[in-house]
Amino acid sequence: MNIIITGASKGIGKAIAAVFASHGHTLYLCARNEAALNNTVAELQTQYPASTVMGKAADVTNTNDRKVFAVWVLQNAKKIDVLVNNAGQFLPGSVHNEPTGTLEEMMNVNVYSAYHITRLFINQMMEQKSGAIFNICSIASLHAYANGGSYSISKFALLGLTKNLREEMKPHGVKVTAVMPGATMSDSWGENAIDPKRIMEANDVAQIIYTTSQLSPMAVVEDIVMRPQLGDL
């Protein structure tokens, strides 16, 4: 299968890439940090030689970068089996006092990038009448929480995008899934000291996405909600 993953150089994106690579698939990865992306590509290709792992640096909030990345993928992959819109960013804050422009930044990174990346690949998926799209939303897509601010607003919007796309793609054979992980170990948590028993591993999210991608064409998982066993942080 041909797998496209945005924000794939670290965290959940890298874990998703590793799971698909471990099963011998062909990966097309992008991330803003070219050095980190190249390291990830080399690491996965070495660890999983039966797979094909390729990467192209791209900022998915940039119109030209998105187009260049999509052209590169479509020139190499005549079929798209899985698209994972993983690229995202977390900026803490509250609506009443977060810096001006925070909402615009969160919407651009967490919503508009997924919208535009999807539009660049969706026609191919509709033509082939197959494929699966996974949008990495968040538990913050389901309920508000302290210090969530514009991040939570953007994740609510991404869930709305995902639900609308799901309805549109039903007659075209394209599956659309909202993935809503709770606290997962990634760079978003910065230097916070967290008890490993209180937070999920990125591989947990990756494994459920891979399993979902293997269902028959007649079945789709619309929503994946995951939390640490002991509850939200």
For residue 115, pLDDT over 60 is answered with: yes
**What mean pLDDT is reported for the chain?**
94
The residue ranges of every structural domain in the chain are: 2-226
Name the pTM for this structure. 0.94
Pick the CATH number of 2-226 from 3.40.920.10, 3.30.70.1060, 3.40.50.720, 3.40.50.1970: 3.40.50.720
For residue 191, pLDDT over 60 is answered with: no
- Tell me: the pLDDT tens digits for 66-92? 999 999 999 999 899 999 999 999 999
Report whether 186 contacts 10 (CB < 8 A). yes
Q: Concatenate the DSSP letters of all residues of the chain into one string.
A: -EEEEES-SSHHHHHHHHHHHHTT-EEEEE-S-HHHHHHHHHHHHHH-TTSEEEE----TTSHHHHHHHHHHHHHH-S---EEEE---------TTTSPTTHHHHHHIIIIIHHHHHHHHHHHHHHHHT--EEEEE--GGGTS--TT-HHHHHHHHHHHHHHHHHHHHHGGGT-EEEEEEE-SB-SGGGTT----GGGSB-HHHHHHHHHHHHTS-TT----EEEE--TT---
For residue 194, pLDDT over 80 is answered with: no
For residue 232, pLDDT over 90 is answered with: no
